[in-house]
Amino acid sequence: MTTPVETEIIEEVIVPGKAAVTEEVVAPAEIAGVAAPRGGGRGAIRGRAPRSGGARGRAPRERGEFDQVTIDVRRVARVMAGGRRFNFSLVIVIGDKKGRVGVGLGKAVDTALAIDKATRDAKKHLITVLRTKSGSIPHSVQARYASSTVEIIPSEGRGLVAGSAVRTVLDLAGVSDVVTKIHTRSKNKLTIARATVVALKKLRSK
C-alpha cells in the first residue's frame, strides 16, 4: 500500500510581473520512502533524529584576541519636544595582557551598538606598553589627562597595587609589581583610564 504524500502550504507570495511562488513541505518519511511513525517524538515531526546526550555538532567558540572590560555605563537623557530621548555612553578597556591596551568611548541609542562603537574606538587607540622581564615598568611615570592625574611607581614583588580604572588598564596591559596613586579627587573613570594610558606612553627603556 502506498502512503499518500503529506503536504502543507506555508506561504503564497505574489510578486508583480512574476508568477505566484508557493512553498510546500513534504513529509520526511515520504522522501525516504518509509511511512512516518505515529506518535513519534520531536525528531519524527520535524524530520530529524531525536536529540542524544552527545555533542551537538557545534564548533567551539573561538576566544577573541583581546579581553574587554566595561568600566563605566551612563544613560543620558535629552528633553525633546515629544518627550525625553535616551542615549547610552560606555567606556571599554581592551587588552591582551601581553603589553597592548586601549581605552574606547562609544555612544548610541542602544547598548549593543554603543559597545560595538567603544570596542572599535579602543582598537584604534591601542598602545604597546614597555615592560620589564618581571612584568613591571622600567621607571616611575606621572601624567595628567583633563581633571585626573595618575602616578605609576615600580615596586618589585608587590604585585598590582591599584584601584579604580587604573587597575583595569594595568591588568589588561599585563603590568604587575607596581604601585599607583591618583593625585586628584576626580571620580571620572574615563579621564582616569586615559591618564593611565598617557602615563604608560611616557615609558622609555633605560
pLDDT digits over 72-102, tens only? 999 999 898 888 999 999 999 999 999 999 9
Find the range with the poorest average confidence among 4-8, 47-51, 86-90, 109-113: 4-8
CATH topology of domain 67-127: Double Stranded RNA Binding Domain (3.30.160)
Among residues 93, 85, 94, 87, the alpha carbon closest in space to that of 113 is found at 87
pTM: 0.67
pLDDT in the model for residue 36: 46
Q: 9 with 21: CB under 8 angstroms?
A: no
pLDDT exceeds cutoff 50 at 172: yes
- pLDDT, tens digit, for every residue of 149-160? 999 999 988 999
Q: Would you tell me which CATH number, out of the four given (3.30.230.10, 3.40.50.300, 3.40.1190.20, 3.90.960.10), belongs to the domain 130-201?
A: 3.30.230.10
In percent, how much of the chain has pLDDT > 90? 59
Phi, psi of 53 (to 5 degrees): -80, 0
- pLDDT, tens digit, for every residue of 179-199? 999 999 999 999 999 999 999
Among residues 37, 41, 15, the alpha carbon closest in space to that of 27 is found at 37
Residue type, 171: D
Q: Give the CB-side neighbour count of residue 65, counting CA atoms within 13 A.
A: 7
Residue 167: which residues within 8 A CB-CB, separation 6 or more?
160, 180
Domain ranges of the chain: 1-35, 67-127, 130-201
| CA–CA separation, 131 and 6 (whole Å) | 70
Q: 12 with 20: CB under 8 angstroms?
A: yes
- pLDDT, tens digit, for every residue of 96-141? 999 999 999 999 999 999 999 999 999 999 999 999 999 999 999 9
Q: Could you check whether 67-127 and 130-201 share the same CATH topology?
A: no
Handedness of CA 109, 112, 117, 121 (dihedral sign): positive
3-state secondary structure at position 155: coil
